[in-house]
Amino acid sequence: MDRRLNLKEAAGRTEPWDVVVIGGGATGAGCALDAASRGFSVLLLEQQDFGKGTSSRSTKLIHGGVRYLRQGNISLVRESLRERGLLLKNAPHVVHKGAFVIPCYSIWEKSFYVFGMKLYDLLAGKHSIGSSRALGRAEVVEKLPNIHYDNLKGGVIYFDAQFDDARLLIDILRTAETHGGVLLNYCRVTSLMKNRNGMIDGVEFEDLEADEKFTVRAKTVINATGIFSPSVQEMSDPGSSPRITFSQGVHLVLDRRFLLGDSAIMIPKTSDGRVLFCIPWKGRVLIGTTDTPVGLPTLEPQALESEIDFILDNAVKYLSIKPTRGDIKSVFAGIRPLIMKGPAAKTSSLSRGHELLVDASGLVTITGGKWTTYRKMAEDAVDKAAAVAGLDRRNSVTASLPIEQPANSEDDTALDSNFAITRGEIVRAIRDEMARTVEDVLARRTRILFLDADAAIRLAPRVAEIMAKELGRGDVWIKAQVAEFEVVAAGYAPGFYSKGNH
Ligand SMILES: Cc1cc2nc3c(=O)[nH]c(=O)nc-3n(C[C@H](O)[C@H](O)[C@H](O)COP(=O)(O)OP(=O)(O)OC[C@H]3O[C@@H](n4cnc5c(N)ncnc54)[C@H](O)[C@@H]3O)c2cc1C
What does the pLDDT read at residue 432? 95
Which of 34, 184, 209, 228 to mutate to test ligand 1, by most ligand atoms within 8 A of the CB atom? Answer: 228
CB 318 within 8 A of CB 265: yes
Start and end residues for every CATH 3.50.50.60 domain found in the chain: 3-54+166-242+352-400
Residue located nearest, by CA, to atom 1 of ligand 1 = 249
Q: Model confidence at 343, in pLDDT bands (50, 70, 90)?
A: low
Instruction: Count Cβ neighbours within 10 Å for each residue of 442-476 and write b for 16 or more, e otherwise.
Output: bbbbbbbbbbbbebbbebbebbbbbbbeeeeeeee
Q: Model confidence at 72, in pLDDT bands (50, 70, 90)?
A: confident
Residue 96 to residues 51, 60, 159, 160, 177, Cα–Cα distance (Å): 20, 11, 10, 9, 24
To the nearest whole number, what is the mean pLDDT of the chain?
Answer: 93
Distance CA 64, CA 76 (A): 8
Residue ranges lining ligand 1, Cβ < 6 Å: 22-28, 45-48, 52-55, 57-61, 188-189, 224-228, 232, 249, 289, 334-336, 369-372
Distance CA 33, CA 35 (A): 6
State percent of the chain over pLDDT 90.
Answer: 85
Distance CA 208, CA 215 (A): 14
CB 179 within 8 A of CB 37: yes
DSSP helix, strand, coil percent of the chain (3-state; round to 5): 40, 25, 35
pLDDT (tens digit, 9 = 90+) per residue, 293-320?
Answer: 999 899 999 999 999 999 999 999 999 9
pLDDT (tens digit, 9 = 90+) per residue, 162-172?
Answer: 999 999 999 99
DSSP H or E segment with residue 380: helix 374-389
CB 496 within 8 A of CB 304: no
Measured in Å, residue 194 CA sits from the centre of ligand 1 at: 27
3-54+166-242+352-400 carries CATH number 3.30.1540.10: no
- CA-nearest of 158, 135, 155 to 64 is 158
Q: Is the pLDDT of residue 495 over 90?
A: no
Q: Alpha helices of 13-52 — where are they, by DSSP H? A: 26-37
Q: Model confidence at 502, in pLDDT bands (50, 70, 90)?
A: very low
Distance CA 369, CA 54 (A): 12
Compute the chain's Rg from CA coordinates.
23
Q: Which of 325-339, 380-394, 397-411, 459-473 shows the lowest mean pLDDT across its residues?
A: 397-411
Instruction: Count Cβ neighbours within 10 Å for each residue of 18-29 and write b for 16 or more, e otherwise.
Output: bbbbbbbbbbbb
Strand ranges, E, within 17-87:
17-22, 42-45, 61-62
Measured in Å, residue 336 CA sits from the centre of ligand 1 at: 7
pLDDT (tens digit, 9 = 90+) per residue, 344-393?
Answer: 546 655 556 788 999 999 999 999 899 999 999 999 999 999 999 999 99
Number of helices (H) and strands (E) in the chain: give both, helices first. 16, 18
86-162+245-348 carries CATH number 3.40.640.10: no
Atom of ligand 1 nearest to the CA of 30: 25
Residue located nearest, by CA, to atom 37 of ligand 1 = 225
DSSP calls for 427-480: HHHHHHH---SHHIIIIIIS-HHHH-HHHHHHHHHHHHHHHHHHHT--HHHHHH
Residues near 115 by beta carbon (within 8 Å), at least 6 away in sequence: none
Q: Model confidence at 340, in pLDDT bands (50, 70, 90)?
A: confident
Distance CA 163, CA 87 (A): 10
Measured in Å, residue 298 CA sits from the centre of ligand 1 at: 11
Measured in Å, residue 54 CA sits from the centre of ligand 1 at: 3
Start and end residues for every CATH 3.30.9.10 domain found in the chain: 86-162+245-348
Q: Is the pLDDT of residue 501 over 50?
A: no
Atom of ligand 1 nearest to the CA of 373: 11
**HSE (CB half, 13 Å, CA atoms) of 79?**
18
Distance CA 286, CA 304 (A): 17
DSSP H or E segment with residue 139: helix 137-143
Q: Is the pLDDT of residue 248 over 80?
A: yes
Angle between helices 453-471 and 475-490 (to 10 degrees): 150
Q: Give me the mean pLDDT over the 452-481 stretch.
A: 97
Q: Which residue has the higher pLDDT, 132 or 411?
A: 132
- Greatest Cα pair distance, the chain, in angstroms, is 72
- Tally Cβ neighbours within 10 Å of residue 118: 16
Residue 299 to residues 233, 486, 488, Cα–Cα distance (Å): 18, 16, 11
DSSP calls for 309-320: HHHHHHHHTTBS
Measured in Å, residue 25 CA sits from the centre of ligand 1 at: 5
Distance CA 166, CA 50 (A): 8
| Cβ-defined contacts of 391-395 (< 8 Å, 24+) | 391/18, 391/19, 391/40, 391/219, 391/220, 394/38, 394/39, 394/40, 395/38
Does this model's pTM top 0.85? yes
Q: Angle 68-71-77 (CA atoms, 0-180°, nearest 5)?
A: 30
Q: What is the separation, in whole angstroms, between the first and last Cα of the chain?
A: 38
DSSP bridge partners of 102: 156
CB 23 within 8 A of CB 225: yes
